[in-house]
A and B are shown apart, each in its own frame.
Chain A
Amino acid sequence: MANNTETTTPKYKAKDFSSDQDVRWCPGCGDYSILAQVQRTFPEVIETRKENVVWISGIGCSSRFPYYMDTYGFHGIHGRAPILASGVKIANPDLSVWVATGDGDLLSIGGNHFIHACRKNVDIKVVLFNNRIYGLTKGQYSPTSEKGKVTKTTPFGSVDYPFNPISLSLGSDATFVARSIDRNPKHMQEMIKRTGAHKGLAFLEIFQNCNIFNDGAFSVLTEKDTKDDHTLFLENDKPMVFGKNQDKGIKLDGLKPIVVDISNGKYSKDDLWVHNEFSVSPTHAIILAHLDDNKDLPTPVGVFRQYFKETYDGGIANQIKYVKEKKGEGDLEKVLFGGNTWEVD
């Protein structure tokens, strides 16, 4: 029911998605990269006219994102972006609905909405800016902060175990789960495109550096001398190879992933675990999500899992269609005068 009067989609440029508002993130913040990659890819990602795009957010640094996009936007309240977005999408399934959110917003105060949006497979795109810290409230630990983290509210180190957002979304049956890094624009662009192309709930976690309150949280994955040995780029149908010289691989020993050297002749690429994004079972994706629980193993980025089932908004629309066909278009007079009536003369 998008009431657009024009039907052709113009050739948009990145700047068509840039609003007239000054961006107010701290200089050096990873959010700038995310905004840039979104604006750069959107002409390609968005297969519709831009009036059919809505960005929705909760509260936190990342949640200012909608103000900077020249689309429809709704800066909601803390934690509620997924459900606000669900309401928009259910009301009008023709819209392309995106959520910009942070680790506190999505996984702490908004955890319930997130898992239920995943469960219901509402066709919304959830982009998590994960910096593992509360930035806008100036530096308290978040639900993705590592155990033992010293922050303003944990002067002796946090005793909390963190959430693994990939594992949580897989466990909640999200139909698309991916991860990227703010410092890898090319990869992020690819992931934004994949996220946008998915029909169903798409979850994209982006490791995002907060250079004020949690600087270097992902440096091992972004610095030149460490990143290759610690990052595993997932590619469908490809063996899992990583390392500066592409000389290491992941082999599955039963259900236990191990690192093997493929340069010394003992193992070859044929021995490695071949990634299957479209696996029917979430098991392998969950093993991947927890790969770097073992610090000797690399952190995977890319698409962990994608599968398809009817979307929630599609289900509602189909049910309405079905009931209309079965019972006929609603007739208010009939409903009002239905049931046990009697006449008074």
Chain B
Amino acid sequence: MTHVKEKDFQQLSDVTVRFAGDSGDGMQLTGTQFSDTTAWIGNDLNTLPDYPAEIRAPAGTLYGVSGFQLHFSSTDIHTPGDTADVLVAMNPAALKKNLPDIKNDGTIIVNSDAFDVKNLKLANYDNNPLDDDSLSGYHVFEVPITSLTANALEGLPLSPKEVSRCKNFFALGLMYWLYDRPLQNTEEWIKSKFKKKPEYVEANSKALQAGHKFGEMTEIFTTRYKVEPAKLPKGIYKNISGNEATALGFLAASVKSGLPLFLGSYPITPASEILQFISNYKNFGAKTFQAEDEIAGITSAIGASFAGHLAITTTSGPGLALKTEAIGLAVMTELPIVVINVQRGGPSTGLPTKTEQADLLQAVYGRNGEAPVCVLAARTPRDCFNMAIEASRIALKYMTPVILLTDGYLANGSEPWRIPHVDEITEIKVDFRKDPEGFYPYSRDENLARPWAIPGTPNLEHRIGGLEKSNIYGNVSYDPDNHDKMVKLRTQKVKNIRNDIPDLKIDGEQSGELLVLGWGGTYGTIKEAVAKANNAGLNVSQAHLHYINPLPKNTEAVLNNYKKVLIPEINLGQLARLIRGEFLIRVEQLNIVRGLPLKVNDILEKITELLGGGNGK
């Protein structure tokens, strides 16, 4: 046996890794496996899958590159990292496309087998970057991953194509070695995934082990890295994506309200997964209806709501546009539904697989007539669970549509989640109207919600619809004063939700020079930027909105406690516009619309600029 030099271990507090390759190289799978194992051994983590809309773009091309970035650490973290410490590039296109996002002095592991004339040409490289000095600022490790995988799998009854498809597991095994992670989690996953194909179990496991062993045996890696588990609060954890958390949140809301869940939906990126997850919950009585179109998705949900279900619909921006008229119908008929909009890059088809926050005004205002709805936004992948329950609670209590905004980054990204026990989740109280005595379909309770009298209830037969209804009695009414009254009642009802939601919370000083106000998926980035600014001695606080319509009662007071307010958004200033309109105060904006999460550094620079280059103490 060759003598293997004992490798050094170096301790790190956090690392950002990016896996990149062809869409067909299995980079999302590799990233997810690395994330799951990393979570499982107790690191905190945050991920950013970044993939093209094409399922299998031509191999080797720049537009076919699929990436997965994850940031893991021994401390509490909130972002997937601005730039990566390590890039695993499976071909020249992956290297070219991702190099700008790699730290200077970072590590690059390339599959050197893929750097042939054809692939270099496809990636528009005139010279092989492995041969010139273009990568001189990086630590480059050339590993012939394709041929090493083939060697490891020699003798197995697989075609060359099938062998080649195992190379992502070799890369994963190598990364597991480099960062001292166990293989067990992935080995078990492989076993269950390929239950019916034992030859794939053997091949993928062998590739994984070969990658790990290669790290041990080769001379090119002299150092391994250790990232200790993070000190997270006590509890049982799992790694969870925003879409899965959303699905579980609605399942929990169904159980806690005692209402069967109905999801009417049409598949759309990046929201389809929620429909897929909920389709598995049939033994909870959940009904999933894959409708003929977006309009049918929401309209079936409105029908189910009329019939007494917890009714929801899932979509992304273009689908929300199509659902517009039906949301108006739910406003008019005052029926509870939750519309989940997993925002993506727009307008039109836009950037289906990328993230954005540009549907905020569409959610708040995008309907004909005065059509107020409650608008909520989740801030992290695991927060989607809580906000799904909260959206359900508000819809059911106030008999109103609620739009829950998440985004592509939250939906696909994942982080460790301390799992709540069922008895820790608050019950949602629902009272169907049963008593015919004094029943009128548009009478109202103390919150201005109308009674929910579902078909099948004796002696409460009544008619609702999209035409204006007379106050209390609910008959069709064209009376001018009645319309004025109803417009105001519907608006007041949504405003009343203010009395029922938590105050806007401030992280940091309760008053001072600068407040960074955000909403939705930018939470983690703002949090890290503000923390860094505070560490640099700057006087900055953070507040992040869960509730956008209505805004928390103390919002104006909070904003007035700071000399300046900065609102960073992945749009051109939609929350900023709302805040100005609502409170007539001056706000500063930071707007970068690249289809990607904001970077900590961008916000930090803006903070520094606003505080006069660091003099804002």
Contacts and interface: CB of A to CB of B under 8 A. Distances in A.
Nearest to B235: A344
22 contacts: A1-B456, A3-B457, A19-B463, A50-B461, A53-B455, A76-B466, A80-B295, A83-B295, A83-B299, A84-B299, A87-B264, A87-B303, A90-B303, A95-B307, A323-B282, A330-B285, A341-B419, A344-B232, A344-B233, A344-B236, A344-B418, A345-B234
B285 A90 contact: no
A104 B304 CA distance: 25
Nearest to A59: B466
A92 interface: yes
B458 interface: yes
Interface in B289-304: 289, 291-293, 295-296, 299-304
Interface string B242-283: 000000100110010000101010000000000000000111
B248 A336 contact: yes
Contact of B262 (A2, A91, A336, A343): A91
A113 interface: yes
Interface in A35-51: 49-51
A335 B459 contact: no
A193 interface: no
Interface stretch (A63-71, A158-166, A194-202, A215-223): A63-71
B464 A74 contact: yes
Pairs of residues from A and B, 3 with the lowest C-beta to C-beta distance, nearest first: A87-B303, A75-B465, A330-B284
Contact of B458 (A1, A51, A341): A51
A50 B299 CA distance: 24
B218 to A, nearest CB: 30
Contact of B283 (A5, A53, A87, A324): A324
A171 interface: no
A76 B262 contact: no
Interface residues of A, number: 65
Contacts of B287: 90-91, 316, 320
A336 B456 contact: no
A186 to B, nearest CB: 28
Contact of A92 (B419, B456, B459, B475): B456
Nearest to A24: B476
B239 interface: yes
B465 A87 contact: no
Contacts of A327: 283
B63 interface: no
Given A88-B306, A91-B303, A336-B420, 20 more contacts: A51-B457, A51-B458, A56-B303, A71-B461, A74-B303, A74-B333, A74-B463, A74-B464, A76-B466, A77-B329, A84-B303, A86-B303, A87-B306, A319-B282, A320-B287, A324-B282, A326-B283, A330-B283, A336-B419, A341-B236
Interface stretch (B34-42, B54-62, B144-152): B34-42
B325 interface: yes
B185 interface: yes
B255 A332 contact: yes
Contact of A343 (B36, B235, B302): B235
B93 interface: no
Contact of A91 (B248, B308, B458): B308
A337 B418 CA distance: 10
A91 B304 contact: yes
Interface string B296-336: 10011111111111010000000000000110110001000
Nearest to A51: B458
A143 to B, nearest CB: 18
Contacts of A50: 461
Contacts of B311: 87, 91
A86 B300 contact: yes
Given A51-B461, A74-B465, A87 B281 contact: no
A333 B289 contact: no
A51 B459 contact: yes
Contact of B251 (A3, A86, A332, A340): A332
A3 B456 contact: yes
Contact of A95 (B325, B333, B455, B467): B455
A66 to B, nearest CB: 5
Contacts of A87: 262, 264, 289, 299-307, 311
A328 B302 contact: no
Give the one of B39, B185, B251, B300 with max A CB within 10 A. Answer: B300
B384 to A, nearest CB: 14
A319 B39 CA distance: 35
A344 B42 contact: yes
A124 B1 CA distance: 75
Give the one of A57, A319, A336 with max B CB within 10 A. Answer: A336
Contact of B326 (A53, A80, A88, A91): A80
Interface of B is mostly: mixed
A6 B458 CA distance: 8
Contacts of B464: 73-75
B577 interface: no
A85 interface: yes
Nearest to B36: A340
A132 B565 CA distance: 60
Nearest to A87: B303
B460 A51 contact: yes
Contacts of A84: 299-300, 302-303, 306
Contact of A344 (B237, B251, B461): B237
Nearest to A330: B284
A323 B283 contact: yes
A329 interface: yes
A340 B303 contact: no
Nearest to B329: A77
B422 A4 contact: no
Given A329-B283, A343-B235, A344-B233, A116 B300 contact: no
Contact of A335 (B251, B306, B476): B251
Contacts of B460: 51
Nearest to A19: B463
B456 A335 contact: no
A265 interface: no
Contacts of B432: 3
Give the one of A66, A80, A328 with max B CB within 10 A. Answer: A80
Contact of A76 (B454, B462, B465): B465
B563 interface: no
Interface in A106-137: 112-113, 116
A203 B420 CA distance: 49
A173 to B, nearest CB: 14
A50 to B, nearest CB: 7
Contact of B299 (A80, A94, A339, A345): A80
Given A116-B296, A344-B235, A328 B307 contact: no
Interface in A7-66: 19, 21, 49-54, 56-57, 59, 66
A267 interface: no
A308 interface: no
Interface in B424-476: 432, 454-467, 475-476
A253 B328 CA distance: 54
A21 B292 CA distance: 35
A77 B284 CA distance: 31
A326 B283 CA distance: 9
B106 to A, nearest CB: 29
Contact of B456 (A4, A90, A343): A4
A92 B308 contact: yes
B184 to A, nearest CB: 11
Interface string B86-108: 00000000000000000000000
Give the one of B236, B296, B457, B467 with max A CB within 10 A. Answer: B296
A342 interface: yes
Interface string B25-49: 0000000000010011110000000
Contact of A67 (B251, B301, B420, B476): B476
A83 B255 contact: no
Contact of A72 (B239, B293, B455): B455
Contacts of A343: 235-237
Contacts of B475: 21
